[in-house]
Structure 1
Amino acid sequence: MKLFKYILWVSGIALVLTSCSKELEKVNKNPNEAESAQPDYLLTNGIKTNVDTYWGTDASMETSLLYVQYWAKIQYTDPDKYIPAATSIQTIWNNFYAQGVEDFTTLIQLGDTLNNPNYKAVGIIMRSWIFQVLTDLYGDVPYSQTANIEKYLTPKYDNQRDIYLGLLAELKTAAGLINTSGDAIGGDVLYSGDMNKWKKFANSLRLRIALRIADQEFDAAKAVFDEIGADNTGLIASNSENAQLVYLASPNQNPVAKNRETRSDYRISKSVVDLLRAYNDPRLAVYGAVPKDTNTIVGITNGLPTDSASRLGFNKTSDVGAVFTATTAPGVIFNYAELLFIKAEAAQRGLLSGDAEDLYKQAITASFKQYNLSDAAATTYLAQASVAYDAANYRKSIGEQKWLALFGEGLEGFAEWRRLDYPVLKPAYAGVLDGKIPLRLTYPSAEQALNGANYREAVAHQGADQLVTRLWFDVR
């Protein structure tokens, strides 16, 4: 009898717990949150958060913009001396993987579920761009096993070569999926649903990656240029087709503008100011701001000790120009000038038919037009002997002018400076790398703890996990 009562008591408790569990499930549901992802919301959020990361504090202001000497720091100068904060390295990794790769993988899956190949194509294009940025910055990174946590809790690190080749294949697939007369997509804050522009962006990214690997895999690069390089109708063809997010008022303002609301840590680098002045470049008035206490633009040397930098004076040194600090300043991730520089170099190296010098001039003119400078100003600039294209040293001609045209795009500028080795930059004044400039970011410390075996394998393949370890694409 006692046993029977005990069984009834246990059964009753189990029934109560089951009921409580079901009630808790009901209570914990958010009535204002969709239980399944909506592709338009996912696309908007995915573009916004990842362009924010690309242009934001950790990936740009505290690292790549300093390393490639577009910006310099006037206070709290440790990052400018090549002492990055561990939180910056971790945040870049977390944001691009959790808010980028994960979200766009979901969008790709939704494209299949909804039978809308245009959503799938856009998801592949944006995810490929993020992977390109990640491998440019870190080297070997998780790629083939990502965004599948149920199967790969600790994803392997793919070799940089394999990542680039994989991205070339994925982008080709994405371009082929696009149907300009098919179902529309919503939430597109990059190209407003214009699938022809998305196809041009995909093909332009393919050329960027093809040139990135050309020093190591010339034949693979040439195959890409042979396929699409001469077809201007399939590539970004004007500044109106730049891949860029045009920001809005707060709280959706440009990350640089948001930073300037509470901080004044950054100034334009002396390296940029000096080169612009040497070439009588009218972009100086665009890239730099005139300080309050002077009537001329003043850049500062990278990597000064904090006390030395602060003594220069906030009102006597130049911030970057308003075109970058305005609330609605666009976050550019691929501009027309870059595409023309890619074609100029490809023509010079036999990857593409065409006149390298003419394409070089077109690229500089496109950069001028991006900032509303006149054709006459570009013509005068190009007439200077110092700016004339030098085929015998195309890396210097293209490297310096491409560096100037990518001003503000710290991550892409950093990648191209490493590949071309121009302009010649002096290491940070008080840098901690024995007279060297960083060539990558180190892996975040969490990877050593949570994905240790794969981390160690990547380091064994790539080289020491240090800022000065040269990546596969950077052969010089």
Structure 2
Amino acid sequence: MKKFIYLIVAAFAFASCTDNFEEINTNPYQISTESLKQDFNHVGSFYPSMLGQIFGNQIDHNLTNVTFSQQLATPTPFVGGVNNTTYYIRWNGYWDREYNNVMAPAKQVIEIAEADGYSVFVEWANLIKIISMSRVTLYQGPIIYTNYGKTGGVQYDSEEVLYKAFFSDLDRIIAEFSNNKDYVGLNNFDASFNGDVNKWARYANSLRLQLAMRVSKVDPELAKKEGEKALADPAGLMLSNADNFNISGYGAKFHPAQICFEWGDTRMSASMESILIGYKDNRIEKYFDPVSDMSLVSDHPDWPYKGIRNGAEMVAKDDRLGFSTLDISFNDPAKVTKRKVMSADEVYFLKAEAALRGWTGAGDAQSNYESGVRASFELWGAGGVDAYLADKTSLPLDYVDPKAPAGVNAFTNSITNTVAWDEAATKEEKLEKIITQKWIACFTNEMESWMDHRRTGYPKLPIVYQNSSNADWGTIPQGDILRRMPFVNNERNGNPEGVADATVKLKGPDEIGTRLWWDTGGSNF
């Protein structure tokens, strides 16, 4: 009898233990999947790192689109002066960065968000994919987008297919954001807009306008349709500096500051010197620091800034380290993680060009042009904008390199257009004003400046002094510019069928002189 009672007690005791087994055996210091879901951490944690990869590093960015747009230049004669900056390709890494660090995690997080019904997170990831891939295509042309994630020899999208896919995806993304204006799920993961879905919708519309303008020469009908859709959407556009899209707070240092101040590998460009000083542009003191050696600026001592010609012939790095650095404020720990992807000034300049092209809803070209300049001066805290906009005489300067033999690296300015708007000017002359000011305002976001220079021919920048291109990557004729970056070696070796098909879609050899789809040449109107 005692044995029977003992077994009953033991059975009850065991049942009691197993009833609470999960609770008793759960590590109190371990974060459970359910607790992660409550705060959206199981999906949201992906986004800061994806956004932080939009801008590349020195190799991905500073020695490609930054130098090709002539915003900054290097004092360093890397590899004996024969490198990307002189049109011989040594580095080509942006593709790998974006596919490994944006497209791959985006695919994963979209699957998680879809499974849990988090549609706003799904479309946020899809928007980040467009941000990334719309930049990668500016390098290579055809890229992998609609077929991403497939196995085997993955086919690239032609640029025509790609841009139509971007526009189609933006339809869905903007609709989702517009239908969820009060959604708060993004708050803990969004250092750009603090989770404000309305601001993401405004950015998505502005991105649509940007992409529409890219294709305005090659497919005017598509461009007009998509541009007018952006201009008319109730969510609006980014028309205030309070709406600017910055990559900020993601732990990624503003990389040109690191390259400039820690490594000494970047300085002001000669084109910046020529244009900013010639136009008496007070933004120069917000962008760059003056030189300490006044002998470098004997031709304009009242504006003590000196830049390096892109593709300059150089002997030693030390020769030009005394040229103008970035403004020291860029190295401020409170600012070094902040960098703009798009700002209100660019949107105004897009609207100004849209007005020239007759797009409904664009408004007046002059008003948008002047609003863009004002927004840029406001953003950088520069004074004198009224006098600047009224200047009908000042022109960019000719350039002399004080560290080179006479004539070496020098150039004669080709810009004959002043800042002040002239309603009697031709459309081409008006477009030159718009794109030149857009180039100045896009400082720190040089990708679009490089695109605009290829698309429109503006600003009228000097060619690189030393053209080292050859048959290895394609020869750039004297007087012309580099038009694209080659397909990357990882794809050439790992997906040769895809690269071969992409080269057919490129409609030209896989070389640096082949024009992209939207880079049609000729008149802009």
Q: What TM-score bracket applies, with the shorter chain setting the length? A: 0.7 to 0.9
Q: How does 1:116-131 map to 2 (within 5 A)?
A: 116-131=118-133
> Which of 322, 327, 332 pairs up with 2:328?
322
1:40 paired residue number: 44
2:273 is aligned with what amino acid? V
Secondary structure at 2:320 match in 1: coil
Residue in 2 that maps onto 1:244:
246
Unaligned runs of 5+ in 1: 1-30
Q: Over residues 160-183 of structure 1, what are the superposed CA-to-partner deviations in whole Å (9 max), with x where a residue is unaligned?
A: 111011101101110111211235
Q: Is the 8 A contact 2:346 2:441 kept in 1?
A: yes
Residue matched to 2:305 = 297
Which runs of structure 1 show a deviation greater than 6 angstroms over 4 or more consecutive aligned residues? 31-37
Aligned to 1:389: 421
Return closer, same or farther for 1:125/1:67 CA change in 2, 3 Å cut-off: same
* Offset of residue 348 of structure 1: 1.0
Distance of 1:68 and 1:183 partners within structure 2: 39
TM-score calculated relative to the size of structure 2: 0.78
In 1, the alpha carbon distance for the partners of 2:234 and 2:63 equals 37
Report the equivalent of 2:257: 257
1:372/1:231 CA distance change after superposition, 3 Å: farther
Distance in 2 of aligned mates of 1:108 and 1:384: 51
Which residue of structure 2 aligns with residue 403 of structure 1?
A: 439
Q: Secondary structure at the match of 2:63?
A: helix
Question: Which of 485, 489, 500 is residue 456 of structure 1 equivalent to?
Answer: 500
Paired residue for 2:464? 428
Aligned partners of 1:356, 1:240: CA distance in 2, in Å? Answer: 23
**Count of aligned pairs:** 431
Is 1:200 matched up with 2:202?
yes
Confirm or deny: 8 A CA contact 2:184 2:195 kept in the other structure: no
C-alpha offsets along residues 254-274 of structure 1, whole Å, 9 cap, x if unaligned?
222333453101111111110
CA contact (8 A) 1:290 1:298 kept: yes
**SS at structure 2 position matched to 1:157:** coil
Structure 1: distance between partners of 2:516 and 2:332: 35
Name 2:22's counterpart in structure 1: none
Identity of aligned residues (%): 24
**1:311 deviation in Å?**
6.1
Q: Deviations over 1:378-400 (max 9, x none)?
A: 11110111212345122211121
Deviations 1:3-38 (CA, angstroms, capped at 9, x unpaired): xxxxxxxxxxxxxxxxxxxxxxxxxxxx99999982
Q: Name stretches of at least 5 consecutive residues in structure 2 with no aligned partner.
A: 1-29, 295-300, 393-417, 469-475
Mapping of 1:340-351 within 5 angstroms? Answer: 340-351=348-359
The yes-or-no answer on 1:84 pairing with 2:89 is yes
Deviation at residue 231 of structure 1 after TM alignment: 4.9
**Does residue 378 of the first structure (1) align with residue 410 of the second (2)?**
no
CA distance in 2 between counterparts of 1:66 and 1:323 reads 22
Q: How does 1:144-223 map to 2 (within 5 A)?
A: 144-146=146-148, 148=149, 151-178=150-177, 179-182=180-183, 184-185=185-186, 186-223=188-225
Give the superposed CA RMSD.
2.3
Structure 1 residue 128, shift from structure 2 partner: 0.8
Offset of residue 412 of structure 1: 1.6
Paired residue secondary structure (1:211): helix
What is aligned with 1:470?
A: 515
CA distances 1:315-370 after superposition (whole Å, capped 9, x unpaired): 2x112223444442421111111111111100111113411111000011111111
Aligned partners of 1:445 and 1:229: how far apart in 2? 40
Deviation at 1:421, TM superposition (A): 0.9
1:63-82 map, 5 Å: 63-75=64-76, 76=78, 77=81, 78-82=83-87
Give the Cα–Cα distance (whole angstroms) in 2 for the partners of residues 281 and 446 of structure 1.
44
Greater share of helix: 1
1:11 is matched with none
SS at match of 2:73: strand
